[in-house]
Every structure is written in structure tokens, then in C-alpha cells.
Amino acid sequence: MDRYENKPPAPHNITVTKGSVHVVVIRAFVQYLLYNRTAIDFLDWVKDTGIPDETYFSSLNHSPQLRVPGSYLGI
């Protein structure tokens, strides 16, 4: 089963990836998750997918166009 079956594309051009459930992030990354509209919109999108935590953190970390503090920027 596709975990994103019957879903529209992810908001804000986020690159959807699967990663670990466990993450180590900096405080600014957490603040982005809590208060940034893009992160909040993506959380709403990912809530009804299979294993949303494996998608949420990894996708925000691997979408360099979002410039999430402390994320992978592809450099």
C-alpha cells in the first residue's frame, strides 16, 4: 500500500521522503516546526498518511528550498 495514496501533492513544494522516527535537531528547527505556517500545513497534510512521523521530520529536513534552520541544504 502506498502511504500517500489518494493525497494531493505535498504543500509548499516539499520533497516527501521517508526517514527515521528518531531525530536530533537544534532549537531553531523545533521552533520552525511549532510556529512556521509551512511546517504546520505539512503536518496537517501528513497526519492521515501511513507512519506520519517518519515522513514529517525527514521531509522538512530534506527540502532545502524551505531553509529550515539546521536542516540539510544539499551542500
Q: 27-64 pLDDT, tens per residue?
A: 999 999 999 999 999 999 999 888 898 999 999 999 99
Please check the confidence at residue 2 and state whether its pLDDT lies above 70.
no
Cell 509551512 locates to 38
Q: Which domain holds residue 42?
A: 13-66
Rg over alpha carbons for the chain, rounded to the nearest Å, is: 12
Q: Which residue has the higher pLDDT, 51 or 14?
A: 14
Q: Residue 5: left if φ>0, alpha if ψ -120 to 50, beta else—which one?
A: beta
Cα dist. 45→30, 39, 56, 70, 73 in Å? 18, 10, 9, 22, 23
30 within some domain: yes
Residue 7 has what pLDDT? 86
Among 41, 53, 70, residue whose Cα is nearest residue 17: 53
Task: Please tell me the total count of domains within the chain.
Answer: 1
52 within some domain: yes
